[in-house]
Structure 1
Amino acid sequence: MEAPIGVIDSGVGGLTVVKEMLNRLPNEPIIYIGDDARCPYGPRSTQEVRQYTMEMASALSKMGIKMLVIACNTATAVALDEIREHFSFPVIGVIVPGARGAVKASETGNIAVLGTVGTINSGAYDDAIHALNPNATVYPLACPEFVPIVESGLYKSESASGIVAKALVGLAGKEFDVAILGCTHYPLVQHHIQAHLPDGVNIISSAVETVSDVEQMLLLKNSKRHSASEVAPIFYTTGKIEQFSPIVEDWLLIDQPDVRHIIL
């Protein structure tokens, strides 16, 4: 099936999911929308996040996608069910896959969850983890400082390391062996996060497990693309192309990516 897979996020964070898709599903066309103009979603109201998520999904529906990946934890937490009810194509979120990866990786059942204010307040990760392991202990921590670091392109800077260190003080004294990056922006600061967590903590990104779900859904719906030729992804941003493109180039290693502006 030649139709593309749609991927949406509040900004550039969902590129971490796209990166895994390009590695595992290189023949699948991808159309991405990042809502950078209204990022971050974490502090926004549930109503706003639902509206913005619906606008992105509707835009991609008009482009003829065969599947949608909500590569934003905040949007997944508050809008997944509504989006699934509204559209006929399969819709995959990132929270259940992330929780599944963490529960599989944890030997103690003690799991830290790093996320936006919206994701943490929703309790979606607590619910997903406890559905898989009722005896798990979850330590949720909102880290609203991380998304602006990534969106500004400062995720490799020394100042980013200091901001991450300060944010993670909230986990001091907690014992856990796995930490979930409960926001798809966070893998871009993973090296800083790892440096400021206790030795031996396994960091889980939802991207790997999410793309496993995408693969399974393609097989289930018999909708894998049959052509063996690779297709360059198309990226849309509601923000500034000149700010979005360098992050695509750096994170996905794509020279001169096809980045376009979209108004929702």
Structure 2
Amino acid sequence: MSNSDSRPIAVFDSGLGGLTVVRALMRRLAGESIVYFGDTARLPYGTKSPRTVLQFARQCLRFLMRFDPKLLVVACNTVSATALGDLAGEFTVPVIGVLEPGAAAAVAAARQQHAAGPCTVGLIATEATITSQAYPQAISRLDPAIHVLGRACPLLVPMIEEGRLPTNAVVQAVLQEYLEPFIKLRAPSLILGCTHYPIFSEAIARVLGPQTHLVDSADETALVVKQRLATMHAFGPVPSEEPLTCYVTDQGQRFENLAAHFLGRPIRQPVWVAPELLESAT
């Protein structure tokens, strides 16, 4: 049996936030080629109905299957929370979300401060993720004594996609309002329940203080992917000269700067895919 597999890892998000997951994958898995799809024309997903989220996600993952990936990574908390169960059974390769790894990391962080007994962790996410109750359910399965206080933060994704910096006065005012319940709670951990939010992680940490550990599911997801590839004997054989190819449904003027900010390195121009092409293929 071969212990290598040159097929790419396919990663999907509603926008560019999933590039934080790509960044973690590239850090942990240097030998892998990655195909990324950002549905930038139809974001944000967090304010859409579960039916629409499932429809859009299915279209995007079917597009990625054209590249014969060895696994699919859903780098979107909204899709992971509302549609992953349906999607996982529709494809012939593993489908890995970001929610379960994030929940596990939040439990571990909480128990470092509170070894036993009831405690509460915080969660900021999109409206759809909060409404789904997927994080509280996942955490309860791991540790029934840990409760989740969640708050929807619908303004954060649009501000991030607009390219607003964490130092922007509007951003700081919005963060102060959204995070107020967690300041009062003095939560041991706060889940950044959207892959866009790590862009504001330093600003969030300043508002909350050192007692709150921020949980970014990107690195935890990359670890799960690495473990799955090990069980599949499917690691990439050699580092790729061009490890990342990006596809998007809308290419705004800020793409290069914003994508490089998410990825932590310069990025090549993406390939544009018309949303109508995705819709006609379903």
With structure 1 as the length reference, what TM-score do the two structures score? 0.95
Matching residue of 1:45: 49
Residue 110 of structure 1 deviates from its aligned partner by: 2.1
1:87 aligns with 2:91: yes
**Which has the higher mean CA deviation after the structures are superposed, 163-172 or 118-127?**
163-172
2:14 maps to what in 1?
10
Secondary structure of residue in 1 paired with 2:265: coil
Q: Which residue of 2 aligns with 1:206?
A: 217
- 1:182 matched residue in structure 2: 193
In structure 1, the partner of 2:107 is 103
Q: CA deviation at 1:199?
A: 3.3
Structure 2 unaligned blocks of 5 or more: none
Deviations 1:104-127 (A, max 9, x none): 111234210111000000000000
* Residue in 1 that maps onto 2:61: 57
Q: Give SS of 1:36's match.
A: coil
Q: Which residue of 2 aligns with 1:68?
A: 72
Question: Is the CA contact 1:27–1:231 (under 8 Å) kept in the aligned structure 2?
Answer: no
**Identity of counterpart residues, as a percentage?**
35
Do 1:117 and 1:142's aligned partners in 2 also have CA atoms closer than 8 Å? yes
Counterpart Cα distance in 1 of 2:35 and 2:240? 16
Partner of 2:149: 139
* 2:140 maps to 1:130: yes
Q: Residue 154 in 1 paired to residue 164 in 2?
A: yes
**CA distance, structure 1, for counterparts of residue 165 and residue 80 of structure 2:** 24
| Cα distance change of structure 1 residues 208 and 255 upon mapping to structure 2, 3 Å threshold | closer
Following the alignment from structure 1 to structure 2, what is the Cα–Cα distance between the partners of residues 148 and 241? 13
Cα pair 1:15 1:248 within 8 Å, conserved: yes
* TM-score, normalising length: structure 2: 0.89
Greater shift, 199-208 or 244-253, is seen at 244-253
Q: CA 1:28 to 1:175, structure 2 compared with 1: closer, same or farther past 3 Å?
A: same
Q: Give the alignment's Cα RMSD to 1 decimal.
A: 1.4
- The worse-fitting range, judged by mean Cα deviation, of 155-164 and 128-137 is 155-164
Question: What secondary structure, in the 3-state scheme, does the structure 1 residue paired with 2:253 have?
Answer: helix
CA distance in 1: counterparts of 2:127 and 2:236, whole angstroms: 38
Q: Which letter does structure 2 place at the counterpart of 1:85? A: G
User: What secondary structure, in the 3-state scheme, does the structure 1 residue paired with 2:184 have?
Assistant: coil
Cα drift, residue 244 of structure 1? 2.2
TM superposition shift of 1:142: 0.8
Higher-Rg structure is 2
Q: Is the Cα–Cα contact under 8 Å of residues 27 and 230 in structure 1 kept in the other structure?
A: no
Query: Which amino acid counterpart does residue 191 of structure 1 have in structure 2?
Result: E
Deviation at 1:256, TM superposition (A): 4.5
Q: Which residue of 2 aligns with 1:242?
A: 253
Once the two structures are superposed, what CA deviation does each residue of 1:202-226 show, in whole Å capped at 9, x if it has no partner? 0010011101110011011111111
Measure how far apart 1:235 and its partner are: 0.9
Gaps of 5+ in 1: none
Distance of aligned partners of 1:214 and 1:230 in 2 relative to their CA distance in 1, 3 Å threshold: farther
Q: CA deviation at 1:172?
A: 4.8
Q: Give the conservation status (yes or no) of the 8 Å contact 1:248–1:257.
A: no
Deviation at 1:70, TM superposition (A): 0.4
Letter in 2 for 1:116: T
Aligned residues: 264
